[in-house]
Each structure stands twice: as structure tokens, then as C-alpha cells.
């Protein structure tokens, strides 16, 4: 059966990863869930990945929907399952592709329309920092957009596993922060000295 307190604190987080084609959505999800870099992943496939982790002393089971090649803006009706029932969203662009960055605002608006909410827990990710010599989007531009959207911002490299865990960790924190019913577990108690040890 396990520890009741451990079961109480455990929670499944359903998230979707959105972004233009070729920005590395699948690579990020696979690198996070399997610690594998797969540059040959079929971008037309839609897949899900799961990983159990611990964030701030609380267990979380991540259920990650890796959305397929970017058709969301043209076919909103087909994206219902990609947004409804999701706890949070990761919006990904490539720092070496300005067009993918410019689509982020449209994707964010799509999410708000589909969820019928004024805001949603998000993390904005500028992926492919391994292509810094080809950079088209500055760190400052990414940070400013994240502030406008009301979310956190990180730059990552799925290829070199830079900030991959961190971007999903921040998404969990954003979801918890926006959840009025979430209660953080009490920090573990430090073992005290026994009376005989204290005397010595």
C-alpha cells in the first residue's frame, strides 16, 4: 500500500508541449523522460511521455503530450485534446529561427481560447542554444516575451541536455503556484539528538 502521506503528496501533471515544426519539442520531451537525444524522431507523430520526479520535496508524475507538426493554428478543432484537461503548457521556439519565436504569441492565444481561461501556467523555452552562432532571437527578447505572457523563461539545448530538467521543473512549479488547492508537503524533520547523546 505504501506510505499514506507519500500517496497524498503524489500528483499527476498533464502538460502539452507546443511550438513550430523543427524547434525540438520531441527532442526535449525524450531527453527529459528517457535521457536520450533523438534527432531522427518523426516530427509528424504525436506522442506522450511519462516520468516520475521530485520537485521541492513533492513527488510528481509528468504526463507530457508532445504535439505533432504545427497545424494548431489552421485546425483549432483538432487540438481540443491538446489543451483541455491539461495542467500546464510549454511553448518552445528555436533561438536560430525567428519565425518560430514570432508564432509563440499566436500559440498562447490559441491555448487561452481552447481552455477558455484568461491565463494558464506556462514556461517559454528558447531551444537549440547549441546553435548560438546562428542565433536570431536574443535572450532578452525571450525573457521579455515570457514576462508579457506571464510565465517563466529558460533557454535550453536538448542536444547537450542544457536546462532540460529545469524547464519541466519550472513548469511543475508554475502549475502548483496557480493551483489554489495545492499544499506543499512539510519539510522533512531533522533527526534530533537523544538525551544520552546530548549529555555527552
pLDDT in tens for each of the 200 residues of the chain?
Answer: 334 344 344 589 999 999 998 999 999 999 999 999 977 766 556 688 999 999 999 999 999 998 865 555 555 555 656 787 899 999 999 999 999 999 999 999 989 988 888 899 999 999 999 999 999 999 999 999 999 999 999 999 999 999 999 999 999 999 999 998 888 887 766 655 554 544 44
- CATH class given for the domain over 4-199: alpha beta
In whole angstroms, how large is the CA radius of gyration of the chain? 19
Q: pTM, whole model, 2 decimals? A: 0.84
Q: Which residue has the cell 503528496?
A: 9
Q: Of 182, 170, 181, give the one whose Cα is nearest residue 121.
A: 170
Please name every residue paired with 190 in a beta bridge, in sequence order, or none if there are none: none
Kindly give, in sequence order, each residue whose CB lies less than 8 Å from that of residue 186, ignoring residues fewer than 6 positions away: none
- Domain boundary assignment for the chain: 4-199
Amino acid at each position: 500500500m505504501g506510505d499514506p502521506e507519500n500517496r497524498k503528496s503524489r500528483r499527476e501533471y498533464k502538460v502539452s508541449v507546443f511550438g513550430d515544426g523543427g524547434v525540438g519539442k520531441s527532442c526535449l520531451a525524450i531527453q527529459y523522460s528517457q535521457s536520450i537525444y533523438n534527432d531522427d524522431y518523426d516530427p509528424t507523430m504525436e506522442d506522450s511521455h511519462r516520468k516520475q520526479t521530485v520537485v521541492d520535496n513533492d513527488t510528481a508524475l509528468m504526463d507530457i503530450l508532445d504535439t505533432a507538426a504545427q497545424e494548431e493554428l489552421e485546425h483549432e478543432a483538432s487540438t481540443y485534446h491538446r489543451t483541455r484537461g491539461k495542467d500546464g503548457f510549454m511553448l518552445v521556439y528555436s533561438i536560430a529561427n525567428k519565425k518560430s519565436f514570432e508564432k509563440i504569441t499566436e500559440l498562447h492565444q490559441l491555448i487561452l481560447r481552447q481552455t477558455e481561461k484568461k491565463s494558464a501556467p506556462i514556461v517559454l523555452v528558447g531551444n537549440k542554444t547549441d546553435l548560438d552562432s546562428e542565433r536570431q532571437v536574443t535572450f532578452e527578447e525571450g525573457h521579455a516575451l515570457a514576462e508579457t505572457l506571464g510565465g517563466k523563461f529558460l533557454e535550453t539545448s536538448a542536444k547537450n541536455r542544457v536546462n532540460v530538467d529545469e524547464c519541466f521543473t519550472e513548469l511543475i512549479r508554475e502549475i502548483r503556484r496557480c493551483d489554489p488547492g495545492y499544499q506543499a508537503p512539510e519539510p522533512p524533520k531533522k533527526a534530533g539528538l537523544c538525551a544520552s547523546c546530548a549529555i555527552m
